[in-house]
Amino acid sequence: MGVFIAWSEERSKAFATALRSWLPKVLPGLPRSEVRISLTLPLGAPYMGSLQQALAASEVGIVCLTRENLAKPWVHFEAGAVSASLGGEGNVIPLLLDDIKPEELPGALGHFQTATATKKGDVWEVVRSVRAAVAPGVLVKEARERFLEHWPELQQELIDVRQVRVRAEQLVVYLPSLKRNSFFSELLDHLVRVTTQLRPGLPIHLRQSELVGRVMLDNTKQVLTEVASRYPGAVVIMFPPSPEVFDSIRDLDRQLAVNLVLADIHPTAQQWRMLQTRRFFRKLIVVDNKHGSQLAARKVARGPHRGSTVINALICEGDFHRRGRMFRAELNRAVRKKAPNLRKVVWLDKLTELPFAQATEEACAYVGTVLNRRITDVGLRPTYVFCANDSMALGARSAVAKLCRQEQHAIRIVSFDASDIVRDSIANADPYLWCSVDQQYARYAQAAIDAALAILDGRAIGPRRKTIRPTLLTAS
């Protein structure tokens, strides 16, 4: 009288091995030698004969199912052999490691009563069934006490098994909605092109945040949970849509079965400490926004200023990176220390955050409103507009172009991103788009790809934080 455990694929194998070691601890009347899996069948013997002998000596069959082995022929073959040998659906238990719904089970597996390995109550029912079939001499009370004692061991084993790399490699790219930001469209094209060159055939899945009106919803928790269920062990390269991503990550299971590579977001010291406690977090790749703001501020401080001793500046701040605040601080510092011919910077409006969604339209309306209010006062006519990203810069350009045509007044626009459309405009001496902080997206995309492929290959990925220093794109 014994138990036969069927498996297929690496995680299922580790799952079955852990279960084989654990069951005898809970049921002392069940010797470990009576819990059989394919690994314990005699080497060199014809497999079918060995399998039939193992099944003939078993009263219960447990089929270890994971997301990646659901459709594998071998697990269906062994499950069919177990069912045919043992007879009766009550003696065959499909045990689900991942978040698999019973209705997802294909073929004959869908006819059996299932249990979920990560649910304590389900596993206790499996133990009760095994006790009744192969260890009736063990009292239910004793089995229950042993189960409660040893359950944490199996629970930790299963957490480790869920983290085992899946041979069917998967890469998921999570981006803010592409509807309103050409920069992320360019970034996605680059990521896919380079990854396909380096790893032909690697499945790449796209997930996007949701855009509702002016608000970019953070659905990080939903996306990562879905990926962990559908592609356990997959690598997720995430360009977060909002700072709320850290709240979502904090609320997730620390052992979630994904490998997260975060890019283009700056955590606080507290958020960084939290990230490092999450086992699924693997790498953070950031652009040094402060350095980029310094480059832009120094460029503005150098001018030209056409004899003026005052810079009249306006900021279109984003609701994400705080680049406008950095630029304001750096320009004040640059004028004070590095521009002796300038007396001061006059900020034409309070720092106003514009939503990431609809950034072009919002910046056009905001800049137009401020400029129309200030243009009548010669002393406060704006000379520079700083935009936290290129989408805002394009909106600001529309407003500035309209005003400057009417008033014959020069205004220069400074931005972040150096996306293709802004890059081309600056190269062609656009009269308004003056310079843009080049985030080197090819470099940090490459860093994200390198980390993802290293994780899939089981190689070291180096420090958990990598910083990319931007450059300044100008017409000259």
C-alpha distances in angstroms, 38 versus 41, 42, 55, 410? Answer: 5, 9, 11, 78
**What amino acid occupies position 298?**
R
d(CA 188, CA 196): 12
d(CA 399, CA 366): 9
DSSP code for 390: H
Q: What are the backbone dihedrals phi and psi of residue 415, each rounded to the nearest 5 degrees, phi first?
A: -145, 180
**Neighbour count for residue 296 (Cβ, 10 Å):** 27
Q: What is the pTM of this model?
A: 0.64
Q: What architecture is domain 171-287+442-466?
A: 3-Layer(aba) Sandwich (3.40)
Nearest to 415 by CA among 438, 387, 385, 382: 387
Question: Residue 424 burial (CB < 10 Å; 0-12/13-18/19+)?
Answer: exposed
For residue 312, what are the β-bridge partners? 346
Residues of the chain with CATH 3.40.50.2300: 171-287+442-466, 290-439
Q: Average pLDDT of each block of 10 consecutive residues along the chain (476 residues)?
A: 81 89 90 73 45 70 83 69 63 83 75 88 93 87 94 90 65 78 79 91 85 64 87 88 84 88 89 92 93 94 77 85 90 80 81 79 90 69 88 92 70 91 92 93 91 87 92 88
Beta strands in 249-332 (DSSP E): 259-263, 281-287, 310-318
Task: Say what the pLDDT of residue 451 is.
Answer: 94
Question: Residue 84 burial (CB < 10 Å; 0-12/13-18/19+)?
Answer: exposed
Specify the residue for token string 């990925």: 461
Q: What architecture is domain 3-162?
A: 3-Layer(aba) Sandwich (3.40)
Task: Say what the pLDDT of residue 87 is.
Answer: 59
Tokens standing for 81? Answer: 């052999």
Task: Say what the pLDDT of residue 309 is.
Answer: 77
Give pairs for 243-250: CB < 8 Å, separation 24+: 243/320, 244/218, 244/220, 245/218, 245/220, 246/271, 246/274, 246/275, 247/218, 248/218, 248/220, 248/221, 248/224, 249/220, 249/224, 249/274, 249/275, 249/278, 249/281, 250/274
User: CB neighbours of 75 closer than 8 A, spacing ≥ 6?
Assistant: 6, 7, 8, 9, 12, 63, 65, 69
Handedness of CA 344, 345, 348, 350 (dihedral sign): negative
With b for 16 or more beta-carbon neighbours within 10 A and e for fewer, the 383-408 pattern comes to bbbbbbbbbbbbbbbbbbeebbeeee
Task: Say what the pLDDT of residue 31 is.
Answer: 81
| CATH superfamily, with its number, for domain 290-439 | Response regulator (3.40.50.2300)
**β 281-287/259-263 pair status:** parallel
